[in-house]
């Protein structure tokens, strides 16, 4: 099972990973810092692909060690559609083994948690290299088709 957590989003609302269990697949998009060039570009891409994620029964949660105040200003400035979670105390990045000590922040990584709460995909990237949404979407398609097959088996 994926380690559960509760963090505040850019609107200071608490979001728990476990709240999606049984409902949605969750893309945990860990990134180092708001306002940095690579993080800005990749979060814009996540927003551009928002309908694709939604169509695959997935929700995207961006996670960095910035404050929810920074997340709010950044999300508003960029028009981001996905939720940004503030791991200000670095508890979640440490729980997932993604703490990057040289910059006191999280590594750039993608973790997909399936709707049953299991880790289904993990990719850790070089801190200066943006993630590729195509890889994430392919992994989500596999989960989506698996869910469809399971549902069809229950009908027979």
**Per-residue pLDDT tens digits for 118-132:** 999 999 999 899 998
What global pTM score does this model have? 0.94
Indicate whether 64 pLDDT > 90: yes
Residue percentage of the chain with pLDDT more than 70: 100
Phi (first) and psi of residue 83, to 5 degrees: -75, 140
Least confident window among 3-7, 47-51, 135-139, 146-150: 146-150
Break the chain into its structural domains and give their ranges. 6-155
Q: What is the mean pLDDT of residues 26-54?
A: 95
State how far Cα 59 lies from the chain centre: 8
Give pLDDT tens digits for 77-103: 999 999 999 999 999 999 999 999 999
Please give the positions annotated as active site: 39
CATH 2.70.240.10 fits 6-155, yes or no: no
Q: Which residue has the higher pLDDT, 138 or 144?
A: 138
98-137 residues labelled b (16+ CB within 10 A) or e (exposed): bbbeeeebbbbbbbbbbbebeebbeeebebeebbebeebb
């Amino acid at each position: 099972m994926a380690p559960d957590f509760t963090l505040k989003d850019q609107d200071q609302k608490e979001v728990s990973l476990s709240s999606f269990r049984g409902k949605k697949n969750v893309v945990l998009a860990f990134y180092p810092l708001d306002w940095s060039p690579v993080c800005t570009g990749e979060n814009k891409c996540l927003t551009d692909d928002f309908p694709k994620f939604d169509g695959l029964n997935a929700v995207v949660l961006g996670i960095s060690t910035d404050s929810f105040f920074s997340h709010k200003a950044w999300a508003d400035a960029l028009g981001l559609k996905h939720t940004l979670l503030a791991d200000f105390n670095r508890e979640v990045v440490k729980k997932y083994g993604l703490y990057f000590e040289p910059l006191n922040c999280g590594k750039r990584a993608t973790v997909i948690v399936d709707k049953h709460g299991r880790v289904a995909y993990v990719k850790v990237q070089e801190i200066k290299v943006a993630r590729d949404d195509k890889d994430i979407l392919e992994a989500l398609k596999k989960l989506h088709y698996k869910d469809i097959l399971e549902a069809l088996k229950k009908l027979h």
